[in-house]
Amino acid sequence: MIKTMLATVLLGYASLAQAVHYDVRLGTSNGAMAGSKITIDFYGDYDLAGKLPVDTKSGYKIFPGYFDDLEGGPRLTDDPGFQSFSNTFLYGEEVHFRALGSLSYWNPATSSWGEASAGSSVTLYGGIPVDAWLNYMLNPGNATYAAQYNYYAGGTVYTADGIGGPETALIDGASQNGTFHSHLDWKLSDSAPAGAYMLTLQVWSPALVNGEQKYVDSDPFHVVFKSAGISQAQFDQAFEQRIAAAVPEADAWAMLLLGLGVIGTYGSRRRLR
């Protein structure tokens, strides 16, 4: 199990911990062609491509996340980010996230998963549509434009009751060589208790060919976040309960989880935008 491996890798890994970086790698099943499906994988400082753990209940891939790794405070992060590589998309094609489901919570007092408590939320701040941004900047006193702007600026909010705010928002647009690299901001609400939190999203593109959606939406996937206030061992336990015995390359995931935890312990990397 992951938690039994952490002591083994600690000494060899601690010196590398602050260099750890990881993203949701976005690909397409058949290149930038109509009908290609957007694919999801891991990209980072470890070679974990094709080795993402899978949630035993939903069958969705899982990424880890830490809310205590930013200068902005212990309830903020901008990992995992999103990245594509050359020729994945065409220049200018946008990729958006779509929020799904509701917010789940791992309670350290009971060592079990359930619904998040009232007042607990995780907010994902996506891009603001250009027209909403321009209208507001040019006419800040217009109540309609202000409401449109603030709707997106307030972010997509996950709670136990479902999704608040925009269900979908921009991640990024492809550069001339079809790539992008974007880190959106995630925030845990101030009233949320210490524990682990899990949410679900998928990636899609509004790009069209002959009036039809060009790319097939990605499969949904989870992000499981550790909050400040629980130990690394507790987070490992929460993570293990989602993936049970079906963990491929468990030793590699032990190293990753440990390294990300050390990042949170030893300092900040980025500032909240």
Examine the pLDDT at 173 and tell me if it is beyond 70: yes
Selected residue with higher pLDDT from 205 and 10: 205
Does this model's pTM top 0.75? My answer is yes
Q: Percent of the chain, pLDDT > 70?
A: 78
Most confident of 5-14, 184-193, 238-247: 184-193
Does residue 10 fall inside a structural domain? no
Does residue 272 fall inside a structural domain? no
pLDDT at 198: 98
How many domains, in total, are found in the chain?
1
pLDDT at 9: 29
Examine the pLDDT at 6 and tell me if it is beyond 50: no
Does residue 7 fall inside a structural domain? no
90-144 pLDDT, tens per residue?
A: 999 999 999 999 999 999 999 999 999 999 999 999 999 899 999 989 998 999 9
Domain that holds residue 155: 22-241
Cis omega (within 30 of 0) for bond into 80: yes
Q: List CB contacts of 130: < 8 A, sequence separation 6 or more.
A: none
Helices (H) and strands (E) in the chain, counts: 5, 17
Does residue 228 fall inside a structural domain? yes
Q: Are 174 and 88 in contact (CB under 8 A)?
A: yes
Does residue 199 fall inside a structural domain? yes
Where residue 14 falls among pLDDT bands split at 50, 70, 90? very low
Weakest mean pLDDT among 21-30, 67-76, 118-127: 67-76
Where residue 18 falls among pLDDT bands split at 50, 70, 90? very low
Does residue 80 fall inside a structural domain? yes
Where residue 21 falls among pLDDT bands split at 50, 70, 90? low
Amino acid code (one letter) for 22: Y
139-151 pLDDT, tens per residue?
A: 989 999 999 999 9
Does residue 210 fall inside a structural domain? yes
Does residue 37 fall inside a structural domain? yes
pLDDT at 115: 96
Where residue 178 falls among pLDDT bands split at 50, 70, 90? confident
Which element (helix H / strand E) includes 63?
strand 61-66
pLDDT at 52: 82
Where residue 71 falls among pLDDT bands split at 50, 70, 90? low
Q: Determine the average pLDDT of the residues in 233-258.
A: 69
The DSSP bridge pattern shows strands 112-115 and 196-204 to be: unpaired
Q: Determine the average pLDDT of the residues in 242-253.
A: 58
Q: How many CA atoms lie within 13 A of 135 on its CB side?
A: 14
